Structure 1
Amino acid sequence: MISPARAHAWQERLQKGEVVQLRAAVQAGRSPGEYLIPTAVIPGRDRAKEILYSCHLDHPSPGANDNASGCAGILEVARTLNRLVKEGRLPQPERTLRFIWPCEVECTISLLNARPEFAERTLAAIHLDMIGGRTETTKGVLRVEGSPPSSPSLVDDVAFALTRWVNRQTFAFADSGSGDWPLIDPEGTRDALQAKVGGFSEGSDHQVWAEGSWRTPIIYVSDWPDRYIHTNRDVPENLDATKMKRAIFIAAASGWYLANVGQDEVPVLAAAMENEALERKAAARRSPNPNAVQFAQAAETEEAASLARFGLVGPQSTADAPPAHIEGVVYRRKPNPKGR
C-alpha cells in the first residue's frame, strides 16, 4: 500500500521517460490465529434450508461505497426483517435467512471449503458489494445481475422482476412527483433508479458461490463504475441514501420471497420464468453465434428444473397461468468490473 501522492509522483516520472526502480523488504511468517466471520440468522420453520445474504468487510479506510455500503445494507435487511417478524407484521419465514460478513473472496472460499454444510443449506446467495454511489459523483449505475448463463435459475427471474418494478415505480415518481412506491430517503436524491438488469459479471464473493464447485444461484447487487474505488476519496459524502434504500429493498424483497415461495405461487412464478425464456430466445435469434438458440433452449430446461431446488413442482402447462410482466434480459459477458 502506498499513498496516492507517492503513486502520482512515480507516474509523472514514468511519463517523462524515467526508469523507476522499487525495492521492497518483506517480512513474512506464520503464527497461530484465526479470522472470525460474523454471521446471524432469522430462523425459518425449515432450519435445513437457507437464503443467504453476503457482503465483504475488508477494504482500506475509508471505503464507504466499497464496501461499507453493502455491509450496512445486509445489516439493515436483517434488522428490518427481524423486527417485522418479532412484531408479528410478517410471519416466521418458511426457510431460514442467514447473514454473513466475510473478508472478500478469500474468506468465502475458506468458509465453503471448511464448512461445506453452508453451501448444502443455501438455496440462493444475495451479495451486496457497493450499492450507494451518488450517480453524479461516482458515475455509477446500480446493477442487479444473476447467475452465470450456464446456471440459469428462477432466483434470477425473481430479482430481475422486482428490480424492473422498482425502476418503473421510481421513474413514475421522478416524472410526476407522485407515486405509490417512490422509495426515497429524506437525505437522498429524488431521481429515478434506472438500474441495469440482467447479465453476469465477476469480481466479488458471488462468483465463489456461483462457480462450479458450489453452483449456488446468486443475485448480485452492485454499483458500477465508481471513479473513487480503492482511493482515499471513497467517502460517505459520495453516497446517495435513496439509491441505498432502493438497493436494500430489492435485496430484502428478493430474499423474503425466496424464503417463502411455495407451491401456490408456482403458476405466477412459472409465467414470469416463461416470459424471461422468451426474451432469451429472441435475443439468441438476433445473436451471430450459431449455437445461441440451442443454448437458450437448454437454459429454459435448466431453469424449469431449478424449481425442484426449492421443493416445488412445475405446472404441466403455463398456458392458464396469470400473466406476468417481465421485460427482456440479454445475458452478456462483461469485463471484470473490479479489475481482478
Structure 2
Amino acid sequence: MIDLKDIFYEFSSRNALELIRKISGFHRAKGSLEYSKARGIIQNYLKNSTLLTFPMDKTYNTWQSPPSWNLNGGFLKYQNGKYIVSDLSLTPISAIFLSDKTDGVEKLEVFDVGKGETEEDYKNFEPGNAVLADGNPTLVYHYAIEKFNARCVLSYHMKAQDKSIGRTPNLLPDTINYTSFPSFKNKYAYGYALSYDQFQELREKLKKEKVYIEAFLDADQGTNTLEVLQENIGKDTDQPAIILTAHLCHPKPGANDNASGSALLSEVMRVLEKFQNHLNRKIIGLWVAEMYGTAAYLTTEFPKNAYVINLDMVGEDQFKTGSTLKLTPSPWAIPSFLGELLYVNLEYPAFRLSFERYSGGSDHYMFSDPNLGIPAVSLTNWPDRYYHSSDDTVDNCSKNTLDWIGKAVLKTIYDLDNMSQEVSAQVKGKIINNHFKLANVQSKLITNYVNYMTYLKLQQLSKYGDVEEELIEFFKEKIDFNLIPSQKRKIRKNIGPISDSWYNIEDIKWMNQIREKVPNFRDFLDVFLNVFELGFSKEEAILIAKAELGIEEDLKAEVEHYLQRLKEEKLIEM
C-alpha cells in the first residue's frame, strides 16, 4: 500500500511553476511549430509518453479542425510614422489568429466602422482597405471581410469584462486581448489585436484626418497536424481508468490558460510514474489542443470504463487575478460522486472554492455523452482578470495554488483505492448536502430525478468507502422508477457533444441573440440532448435541463429550432 505522505513528498509545485515558465514562452497555436516545441518540453519531462498525430483537414466526431496556423513575424505602423506593433515575433498575441500572409508590406487606408457588426457600419468604407472595429470578431469578419471586401482588421475586443475584478478596458489600457478569425474562415484576411490605448489613439486620429498604415505579416500552415501527447501508466484492471486532461494550446504567454494545467498534469504524472507499480488501475495523461484534440483522441481506442479530471487554468494567484476555483461536476445525465470526492480534497480555508452547476467550455465537456457514460469533472479558476490576454503571465501564477490543486488531485486518485472512513463520511455528507440544494418540491419530475442521482452516487461511493445500506435504501425508496426511462435513445451520430463547426452566420447570430437573455444557453442545448438521449420525452428533457442549469426562460421554440437545424445538417437521426 502506498503511503500518501510519500506521494506528497515527491510532488513539487516548484517543478510545475518552472514548467509554466517554459511553456508560456511559446505561441501555441494549433498546428504551429511552437505548439510542437511546447509539447516537446513536456515529452522530455516524462518517461513513457507517446505522440498521437491527426491531420487537421479532417472532422472528428463533428469537430471540424480549425486551419493549421503558424505565425513567423511581422509589424504594423503608421505610414511614414511610428510603430503600432513593432515585432510580432516578440508579441505574437498582437496578430489575429488565422491571419493570412500579407503581400509584402501593404499600405492601406483605415476606416472606423464602430463595432463593425452591421451593414450600416460600413456605409463609408472603401473595399480593399483596413477597418478599425471593436465588435464581436466573428461578426466583424463576416461583414468586413466576406461582405465588404476589407483586407485587414484592426481590432479591440475584451471578452468577459468584469468590474469586480478590475477587468475593464480603462483599467487594463495596455493589455492586448487574444483575438481570432472564425475557424470557418474561407476568404483572405489578416489583422491585428490592439491594446485599448492603441485603439483609442487610432480612433481619435481618424476623427481629424485620414490615416494610412503599413502592415507586414508572415504566416504559414505550420505542421497541419493536431498533436495529442499521451502517457499511460499503471495496469489494466477491472477498476475504472483515470484520464487526466489539459489543453496545451493558446497564445503566448497563456501562463494560467493553460500552461498551468499542462504543467501541473506533467508534474502529477511524473509523481505517479514513481509509484506506478502500486497503482491498481490505468492512469492516462492527455495533453491536447483544446476540444479538437480530445475529439480526435475519441476516435482511437480508449477506456470506456473511466473517470476524467480536467485541469484548465489551475495556477492562478487568486489575490492577483480575482479568481475562485470552480469545480464543474459531471452532468446530471452521468451521475457520479467524483465531483464531491474532489471537492472534499480541495476544501481549504486559504483558497476560494466553489462547487458549480455543470458547464462546458473545456475538455471535460468532450466526454459529455450518456451513451459513453464516462463521468468527467473540471477545475478552472474563474473569473480571471488577465484571461486571454498579454498579461496572462507566470508572475500571476502561484506556487501555493499549484501545490493545493496538485495534491488534491493526487489524493483523489489515492482515495479511489484507499478511502478512509473519514473521507467517505465527508463525501457522503457533500452528496446529501448537494441533494437538498437540488431537490425541487414543486416538481415531482425534478425531485424524483434528484433522488435517483443521489441514490446512484451513494451506491457508487459504497464500492470505495463505507456507506450505510439503510441510507442507500432510504433514497431508493423515494424514487418512482416509472418516471425513470428504462431504455436510452441514440440520436446523435457522433461520440461526445455536437460541435458548432457547422454553424453558418445566421446560426451564430441566433445563438448570440439568445445568449444575451440566457448566457448558458449553449450548455443548455448540450444538457438537453444528454437528458433526451437518456430516454426522457422532449418536454421532460427541457424541464430537467433547465433545472440542472438554473434557467427559468421558456425555451421550447428554441429547442425545436435547434433540432431542426441538426436534422438539416444530418447530425442527428430522429
2:487 counterpart of 1:333: no
Distance 2:317 2:549 in 1: 26
Alpha-carbon deviations, 1:39-66, whole Å to 9, x = none?
Answer: 1122236288521111000001111000
Deviation at 1:94, TM superposition (A): 0.7
Identify the match of residue 38 of structure 1 among 229, 235, 247.
Answer: 229
**Equivalent position to 1:247, from 398, 405, 411:** 405
Instruction: Rate the CA distance shift 1:71–1:16 in 2: closer, same or farther, 3 A.
Output: same
Which of 35, 53, 59 is the matching residue for 2:244? Answer: 53
Per-residue CA deviations over 1:108-128 (Å, capped at 9, x if unaligned) read: 01110x21x31x345101110
When the two chains are superposed, the root-mean-square deviation of aligned CA atoms in Å is 4.1
- Closer, same or farther in 2 for the Cα pair 1:254/1:314, shift >3 Å? closer
Q: 1:98 pairs with 284, 290, 313, which one?
A: 284
Percent of aligned pairs sharing the same letter:
22
Aligned residue for 2:549, secondary structure, equals coil
The 1:109/1:212 distance shift into structure 2, 3 A limit, reads farther
1:1-340 → structure 2 map (5 Å cutoff): 2=94, 4=176, 6=194, 8=196, 9-10=198-199, 34-44=225-235, 46=237, 49-85=240-276, 92-112=278-298, 114-115=299-300, 117-118=301-302, 120-164=303-347, 167=348, 171=349, 192-212=350-370, 214-258=372-416, 260=417, 271=425, 274-285=428-439, 291-304=445-458, 306=460, 317-318=469-470, 333=549
- 8 Å CA contact retained: 2:235, 2:281: yes
Q: 1:31 to 1:140 in 2, by over 3 A?
A: closer
The 1-side partners of 2:438 and 2:278 are apart by: 41
Structure 2 counterpart of 1:21: none
- Residues 44 and 95, structure 1, Cα contact 8 Å, conserved in 2: yes
Contact 2:439 2:450 in 1 (8 A): no
Residue segments in structure 2 that go unaligned for 5+ positions in a row:
1-92, 96-175, 177-192, 208-218, 473-546, 552-574
Counterpart contact for 1:266–1:315, Cα < 8 Å:
no
Whole-Å Cα distance in 2 between the matches of residues 42 and 96 of structure 1?
6
Task: Measure, in 1, the Cα distance between the counterparts of 2:423 and 2:323.
Answer: 31
Distance 1:287-1:65 versus aligned 2 partners, 3 A rule: farther
Conserved? CA contact 1:44–1:94, under 8 Å = yes
Partner-residue secondary structure (3-state), 2:379: strand
Deviations 1:139-190 (A, max 9, x none): 11122231013321122222122122xx1xxx3xxxxxxxxxxxxxxxxxxx
Residues 346, 404 of structure 2: 8 Å contact kept: no
Whole-angstrom distance in 1 between the partners of 2:248 and 2:378: 16
**CA–CA separation in structure 2 for the residues paired with 1:35 and 1:207:** 19
Instruction: Give, in angstroms, the shift of residue 129 of structure 1.
Output: 0.4
| Distance in 2 separating the partners of 1:203 and 1:15 | 37
TM-score (structure 2 length as normaliser) = 0.43
Structure-2 change in CA distance of 1:198 and 1:33 (3 Å): closer
Which residue in 1 is equivalent to 2:39?
none
Q: Secondary structure at the match of 2:288?
A: coil
Quote the Cα distance in structure 2 between the aligned partners of 1:17 and 1:279.
59
Give the paired residue count.
283
Alignment-mate amino acid for residue 141 of structure 1: T
Q: Which has the higher contact order (CA 8 A, sep 6+)?
A: 1
Work out the CA distance in 1 between the residues paired with 2:452 and 2:420: 21
Q: Which moved more, 1:266-275 or 1:139-148?
A: 266-275
Name the aligned partner's letter for residue 294 of structure 2: T
Runs of at least 5 residues in structure 1 that lack an aligned partner in the other structure: 19-27, 86-90, 172-191, 321-330, 336-340
> What CA deviation, in whole Å up to 9, does each residue of 1:267-302 have, x standing for no partner?
777755643443234223567666442231121233
Aligned partners of 1:144 and 1:195 also within 8 Å = yes
1:45/1:93 contact within 8 Å kept: no
Change (3 A) 1:101 1:281: closer
Q: Larger strand proportion, structure 1 or 2?
A: 2
Instruction: State the 1:195 CA deviation.
Output: 1.7
The change in CA–CA distance for 1:60 and 1:319 in structure 2 (over 3 A counts) is: closer
Q: Helix, strand or coil for the counterpart of 1:55?
A: strand
Answer with 1 or 2: which has the greater Rg: 2
